[in-house]
Amino acid sequence: MMFLNWRGEKARFFSFEQRGVCDIIYFMSEDIVDIYDISYEGAGVGRINNQIVFVPKTLKNEKVRVKVTKRLSSFLLADVDEVICPSEQRIEPKCKHFEVCGGCDFQHCGVESERAIKIEIIKKEISKAGYQGEVEFEESERRFGYRNKLKLEYEQGKLGFFKPKSRELFEVERCEIASDLMNDILPDVKEFIAENRLVGLRSVYFKQVGETLAICFLFPKNSEKLAKNIQKLDIFEGFSVFFAFGDVLESNSTKIYNVYGNSKLIRQIGDLQMAVDVSSFNQVNDDVAEKLYNYIEGFCAGKRVVNAYSGQGLLTYRLAQKAKFVYGVEYQISAHESAERLCSFCREYKIENICGKVEDCLKNILLKDRIDLIVLDPAREGCDKQVIESIVGERLEQVIYVSCNFATLVRDLKILGEFYCVKSVKIFNMFPCCVNMETVAVLERKA
């Protein structure tokens, strides 16, 4: 039996009972949606009463029963109650937390389906910047267990992730896309936290380099006194343990102390050993990062290059082996120091590392040197307006833009599009199972 609820929508009859003179009807909203597209955030797209609804973790051509969770003026958000007609591409997710976690988006479909979805998303989005060509795709060797770093939140005795678009925490027993080493140590981390009653603990960071793992506990700024009389550190025999005090681990103002094990993680690069800082940025998928760096190297032979947002200097070092000269620009002090240490091992290459914001440093570099190519790999926020203006003003011949956020990538390409033509676009699947993807756009200046 069907009823109309207070919004005039259909509702499903659940039960009826008599209470004195009052008849009480229990019902819930029932909306059946046909999924006809996938949004750039990886959610299925359907309609309810001619209004767009986004339904995460659904696939094209599925019919699903949904529960609307949020109503906005231009669209609705909904969760799946039941998959009535599943897609042929639907599979059983590997992770037990998949339905409540916002980390993974595509564990409910296979590798081929994920690839097709990502290519379709990028083609649609990048066309907004005028590119109508093909989109290449470089796959990851591993779909699970590939992440070399992870951040878990801590609240009220629970260690885990926040649910999608919320601050509601759920406890994690295992993260399927994280490395086995991280998952194996997770019970010990929980035991360590419980044993020491770490008051004020906000987050726990894991970072793996080769077979070495660092664990960093983040506390509020100026709360060093909270981390005294720590017990059972020897539970982490063979690992490196850090306590950090600040808002985020990557900030220059965050104080980080090595409390157990080695203070530096050592990364082997051929015959070279690189000291890696626990707080500095690194690509999360070593296999795909290697493919990405090889690809970018191919554009640099004999050129004078700026590697903007250069992190710990690994790509700068790699480019310098083929380029005529490379400037690496990085704002985070610890990352810059890592780049300088790496540079000291390769004096046969021509490198200058500069510590500062790209928007503050780039114009001076371009004024004093004739740069042939700039490699941009900004954070999710994209490039500062000054960076784009400097590139356009100095008439650089070639730009390689690396981005993990295609929304800001498209925004910046639209601005550059007046002077540059996008020659190729390639996806590097740095984040299997997730809607995020590392996208590389190669631009050349228009005649």
pLDDT at 263 over 60: yes
Question: What does the angle CA 415 – CA 418 – CA 421 come to, to the nearest 5 degrees?
Answer: 100
Instruction: Share the mean pLDDT of the chain.
Output: 89
Percent of the chain at pLDDT > 70 equals 93
Confidence of residue 133 (pLDDT cuts 50, 70, 90): very high
What pLDDT was estimated at residue 29?
58
Pick the closest to residue 59 from 80, 77, 74 (CA basis): 80
What pLDDT was estimated at residue 64?
97
What pLDDT was estimated at residue 2?
39
Pick the closest to residue 197 from 226, 224, 173 (CA basis): 226
Percent of the chain at pLDDT > 90 equals 75
Of residues 7 and 356, more confidently modeled? 356
Contact between 445 and 156 (Cβ < 8 Å): no
In tens, the pLDDT along 95-127 reads 999 999 989 999 999 999 999 999 999 999 999
Mean pLDDT, residues 192-220 taken together: 93
What pLDDT was estimated at residue 25?
35
CA–CA dist 302, 313 (Å, integer):
19
CA–CA dist 308, 354 (Å, integer):
10
Mean pLDDT, residues 151-171 taken together: 92
In tens, the pLDDT along 290-312 reads 999 999 999 999 999 999 999 98
CA–CA dist 78, 68 (Å, integer):
4
Contact between 204 and 217 (Cβ < 8 Å): yes
CA end-to-end distance (rounded Å), the chain: 68
Instruction: Give the number of other Cβ atoms within 10 Å of residue 138's Cβ.
Output: 16
Pick the closest to residue 179 from 239, 105, 243, 226 (CA basis): 239
Instruction: Give the number of other Cβ atoms within 10 Å of residue 298's Cβ.
Output: 9
Two tokens, residue 49: 């009463």
- One-character DSSP codes across 155-195: ETTEEEEEPTTS--EEE-S--TTB-HHHHHHHHHHHHHHHH
In tens, the pLDDT along 301-354 reads 999 999 999 998 999 999 998 999 999 999 999 899 889 988 877 666 799 999
The pairing of strands 51-55 and 76-85 is parallel
CA–CA dist 371, 44 (Å, integer):
44
Confidence of residue 24 (pLDDT cuts 50, 70, 90): very low
Q: b/e string for 374-386 if b means 16 or more Cβ within 10 A? A: bbbbbeeebbbee
pLDDT at 11 over 60: no
**How many Cα atoms sit within 13 Å of 11 on the Cβ side?**
15
| Cα 111 from chain centre | 19
Instruction: Give the number of other Cβ atoms within 10 Å of residue 209's Cβ.
Output: 21
Two tokens, residue 395: 């008439």
pLDDT at 289 over 60: yes
CA–CA dist 240, 258 (Å, integer):
8
Task: State the sign of the Cα–Cα–Cα–Cα dihedral 189, 192, 197, 199.
Answer: negative
What pLDDT was estimated at residue 347?
65
Q: How far is CA 376 from CA 135, 168, 190, 413, 446, in A?
A: 19, 35, 39, 12, 19
Mean pLDDT, residues 159-175 taken together: 92
Mean pLDDT, residues 70-78 taken together: 92
Contact between 53 and 76 (Cβ < 8 Å): yes
Confidence of residue 63 (pLDDT cuts 50, 70, 90): very high
What pLDDT was estimated at residue 56?
95
Residue 192's contacts (CB-CB under 8 Å, 6 or more residues apart) are 232, 233, 235, 236
Say which range, 135-144, 187-196, 237-246, 262-271, has the weakest mean pLDDT.
Answer: 262-271
Confidence of residue 17 (pLDDT cuts 50, 70, 90): very low
What pLDDT was estimated at residue 99?
92
Helix (H, G, I), strand (E, B) or coil at 207: strand
Contact between 54 and 76 (Cβ < 8 Å): yes
